[in-house]
C-alpha cells in the first residue's frame, strides 16, 4: 500500500503549533530551565550507548505534545510499518524502500512482489564475507599472482559518499589494505590516484546501481585502459569486480560473472552502503566489523519501529527539526561531530537529507505551500570553532546544531580527549547562555579594559537562546556508527512522511545526468 497523502498544514496539530509558536517564539531557554529543575531529564533520550540531550531547544512539554500529535495525525505509525514491510512507498518509481532489510539480523521474511528478499540478502552478505576474507588474507590474487595491497572504489553519489565516509570514520579499525575513492569525472583526479598504484596489486571495485552513470563509466574505462597497458583482457577478472543491478552491462565491461555483486532496485543509492555497495567498507575493516556495523543499524531500526514516539530518537529529532524549519523559518541545520574521523559525515548527510527531502511537490502532485528539506552542512569540531561558528553564535540566523561527541577516545589520549569534550560542552553552553551586557561589562572590567567598555560592549554581547542537540555516544565503534547513520536515515524518513513528499526519488539528480549527455553531444 502507498503512503497516505495528508497535508500537514490542514491538521489540527499544525494549527495548534501555529498558535503555540506565537506564544513561545520569544521565550528564553534560560527561563525554561529556571522554571523546571528536571528539564534536562525531561528532554533527554537514551538508546543503547547513545544519550541524547535535547533540552537546549526552544520547546516546552506542550510543544512536544503538539509535535507528537502532528506525527499521529499524519499517520506516521502507518508509514513506518509500510516502510519496514516492503510496501511500494517509493510510488513515483514504483518501488519498495528496503535498506532496513539489508541489516535485518533476525532474518524475518520481507516480501516484495510476493517474493521473500531475505534469502538473497543473506546470500550476498555471504559472498561479501567470503570475498573479503580472501582478499584480506591474500588468497585472492591480482593477475600476476601477487597479493592485493590497494582497493579503489569507483562510483559517485550514493555509490561513493557512504562507503567513503564509513571507511574514513572507521579508520581505526582498518586492516593493511589501502583504500582509494574515484568519483569525480575530473581526469586529473583519476590520474593522481593511478600515479601511485601498482596494477598487479590493486583491486578495482566499480560500484554503479545502474551501470550507466557517465562519471563512473568514464573513470572505469580510463582505469581499464591503464590496466591493459600491461595486462590482457583476460586479466580483468583478477583485478576488477563490480556492484550493480545491471548485470548485462557489467558483463559487457568484461567483468567475470563470479566477480559481480548484485543489488536490488528496492535499495536507493543514498541508502545503499548496507548492501554490496559497502564492499569497500567490508574490505577495509574486515567482515566482522562490517557485520557489527550492520547490527548497530539493525538495533536502531528496531528502536525506531517499536518505541513509542515520545521516546523514539529519530522521531523526536525529526519533530524538533520540523519545529524550527516550519515555524521558526530556519533554513539550515549544522552537524558537528567532535572527532576528526567523522569529517565526512556532513557531506554524507547532505546527500541523505537534501536529495531525499529537497522536494516541492507533495504526494498529491500539488505544489507545497510550506517549507520542506533543510540545508545540511557541517564539519568537525573543534576546527569549525575557528571558522564558521562565528555565524552560528552571533549571526542573524537561527541555525539549530547537532553536536556529536564520544565519551571515550580510541587511542586513550586523555589530555586531548578532555580538551576536545570540554569544547563539545562549551559550544552548546555558549549557544544556549550567550553573554549578557552585564557579563561583558564585568568581564571587561575584570580584565582591566574599562576604557574600552563603551566602544566594544555591543560587539561582545551574545544573545544566546540558540538551539542545539547534544548526542553523546560511548565510543566510535562500527556498531555505534551503524546506529548513528540509521538514526539520520529514519529522521529523514519521518520528515518526508510529515511533509507529505516522496523522499525516495531524485528526479533532480537524473535531470543533471540527462543534460550533461546532451551538452556533450
Ligand atoms: C542516490 C542518487 C545518486 C546515485 C548516483 C550514482 O540516491 O540516486 O547519488 O547514487 O547518481 O548512480 P549509480 O549507482 O547508478 O551509478
User: Residues 482, 296: contact at Cβ < 8 Å?
Assistant: yes
Can you tell me which residue has the cell 506542550?
62
- Number of other residues whose CB lies within 10 A of the CB of residue 499: 25
C-beta of 325 in contact with ligand 1 (< 6 A):
no
Q: What distance in angstroms lies between residue 157's CA and the mean position of ligand 1's atoms?
A: 5
Cα–Cα dist 395/399, whole Å: 9
Q: Is the separation of the CB atoms in 376 and 335 below 8 Å?
A: yes
Peptide bond into 41 cis (omega under 30): no
Residues 6+ apart with CB under 8 A from 292: 477, 478, 479, 482
* Separation between Cα atoms, residue 263 and residue 367, nearest integer Å: 33
Q: Answer yes or no: is the C-beta of 215 below 6 A from any ligand 1 atom.
A: no
Task: Please tell me the class of the 102-290 domain.
Answer: alpha beta
| CA–centroid distance, residue 203 to ligand 1 (Å) | 22
Averaged pLDDT, groups of 10, the chain, 521 residues long: 97 98 97 97 98 98 98 98 98 98 93 96 97 98 98 98 98 98 97 97 97 96 98 96 96 94 96 98 98 98 98 98 98 98 98 98 98 98 96 97 98 97 98 96 95 95 97 98 98 98 95 85 83
Instruction: Report the atom number in ligand 1 closest to the C-alpha of 210.
Output: 15
Say if residues 348 and 161 touch (Cβ distance below 8 Å): yes
The HSE-up count of residue 44 (CA atoms within 13 Å, CB side) is: 11
Query: Ligand 1 within 6 A of 100 CB?
Result: no
Question: Structural domain boundaries of the chain?
Answer: 8-94+307-431+480-509, 102-290
For the annotated catalytic residues, the residue numbers are 355, 386, 513
Q: Is the dihedral of CA 227, 233, 234, 240 positive or negative?
A: positive
In CATH, which superfamily holds the domain spanning 8-94+307-431+480-509?
Answer: Glucose-6-phosphate isomerase like protein; domain 1 (3.40.50.10490)
- 8-94+307-431+480-509 shares its CATH topology with 102-290: yes
Q: How far is the CA of 260 from the centre of ligand 1 (A)?
A: 18
How far apart are alpha carbons 368 and 347 in whole angstroms? Answer: 26
What per-residue confidence (pLDDT) applies to 459? 97
Q: What pLDDT sits at residue 513?
A: 81
Of all atoms in ligand 1, which is nearest to the CA of residue 506?
8
First to last CA, the chain: 42
pLDDT value of position 515: 87
Confidence at residue 53, expressed as pLDDT on a 0 to 100 scale: 98
What is the pLDDT, as a whole number, of residue 520? 83
Determine the pLDDT at residue 350.
Answer: 98
pLDDT attached to residue 514:
84
Amino acid at each position: 500500500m502507498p503512503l497516505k497523502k495528508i497535508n500537514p498544514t490542514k491538521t489540527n496539530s499544525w494549527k495548534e503549533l501555529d498558535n503555540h509558536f506565537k506564544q513561545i517564539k520569544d521565550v528564553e531557554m534560560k527561563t525554561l530551565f529556571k522554571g523546571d529543575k528536571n528539564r534536562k531529564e525531561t528532554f533527554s533520550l537514551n538508546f543503547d550507548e547513545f544519550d541524547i540531550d535535547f533540552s537546549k531547544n526552544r520547546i516546552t512539554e506542550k510543544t512536544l505534545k503538539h509535535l507528537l500529535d502532528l506525527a499521529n495525525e499524519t499517520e506516521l505509525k502507518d508509514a513506518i510499518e509500510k516502510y519496514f514491510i516492503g510496501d511500494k512507498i517509493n510510488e513515483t518509481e514504483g518501488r519498495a524502500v528496503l535498506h532496513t532489510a539489508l541489516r535485518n539480523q533476525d532474518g524475518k521474511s520481507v516480501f516484495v512482489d510476493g517474493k521473500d528478499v531475505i534469502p538473497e540478502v543473506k546470500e550476498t552478505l555471504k559472498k561479501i564475507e567470503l570475498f573479503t576474507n580472501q582478499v584480506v588474507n591474500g588468497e585472492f590474487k591480482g593477475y600476476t599472482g601477487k597479493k592485493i595491497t590497494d582497493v579503489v572504489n569507483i562510483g559517485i553519489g550514493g555509490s561513493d559518499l557512504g562507503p567513503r565516509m564509513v571507511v574514513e570514520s572507521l579508520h581505526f579499525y582498518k586492516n593493511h589494505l589501502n583504500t582509494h575513492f574515484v568519483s569525480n569525472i575530473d581526469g586529473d583526479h583519476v590520474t593522481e590516484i593511478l600515479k601511485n598504484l601498482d596494477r598487479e596489486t590493486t583491486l578495482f571495485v566499480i560500484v554503479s546501481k545502474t551501470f550507466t552513470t557517465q562519471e563512473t563509466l568514464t573513470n572505469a574505462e580510463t582505469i581499464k585502459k591503464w590496466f591493459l597497458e600491461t595486462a590482457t583482457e583476460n586479466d580483468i577478472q583478477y583485478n576488477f569486480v563490480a556492484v550493480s543491478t545491471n548485470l548485462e552491462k557489467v558483463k559487457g565491461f568484461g567483468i567475470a560473472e563470479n566477480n559481480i555483486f548484485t543489488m536490488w532496485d528496492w535499495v536507493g543509492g543514498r541508502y545503499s552502503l548496507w548492501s554490496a555497495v559497502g564492499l569497500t567498507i567490508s574490505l577495509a575493516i574486515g567482515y566482522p566489523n562490517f557485520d557489527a556495523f550492520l547490527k548497530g543499524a539493525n538495533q536502531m531500526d528496531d528502536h525506531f519501529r517499536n518505541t513509542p514516539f515520545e521516546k523514539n530518537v529519530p522521531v523526536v529529532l525529526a519533530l524538533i527539526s520540523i519545529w524550527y524549519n516550519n515555524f521558526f523559518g530556519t533554513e539550515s541545520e549544522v552537524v558537528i561531530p567532535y572527532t576528526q574521523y567523522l569529517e565526512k559525515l556532513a557531506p554524507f548527510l547532505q546527500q541523505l537529507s537534501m536529495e531525499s527531502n529537497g522536494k516541492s511537490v507533495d504526494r498529491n502532485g500539488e505544489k507545497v505551500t510550506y517549507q520542506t528539506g533543510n540545508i545540511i552542512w557541517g564539519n568537525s569540531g573543534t576546527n569549525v570553532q575557528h571558522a564558521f561558528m562565528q555565524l552560528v553564535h552571533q549571526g542573524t540566523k537561527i541555525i539549530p546544531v547537532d553536536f556529536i561527541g564520544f565519551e571515550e577516545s580510541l587511542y586513550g589520549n586523555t589530555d586531548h580527549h578532555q580538551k576536545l569534550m570540554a569544547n563539545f560542552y562549551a559550544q552548546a553552553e555558549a549557544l544556549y547562555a550567550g553573554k549578557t551586557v552585564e557579563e561583558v561589562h564585568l568581564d571587561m572590567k575584570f580584565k582591566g579594559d574599562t576604557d574600552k567598555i563603551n566602544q566594544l560592549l555591543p560587539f561582545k554581547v551574545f544573545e544566546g537562546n540558540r538551539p542545539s542537540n547534544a548526542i553523546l555516544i560511548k565510543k566510535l565503534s562500527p556498531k555505534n556508527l551503524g546506529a548513528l547513520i540509521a538514526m539520520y536515515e529514519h529522521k529523514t524518513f519521518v520528515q518526508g512522511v510529515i511533509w507529505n513528499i516522496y523522499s525516495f526519488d531524485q528526479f533532480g539528480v537524473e535531470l543533471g545526468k540527462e543534460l550533461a549527455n546532451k551538452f556533450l553531444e
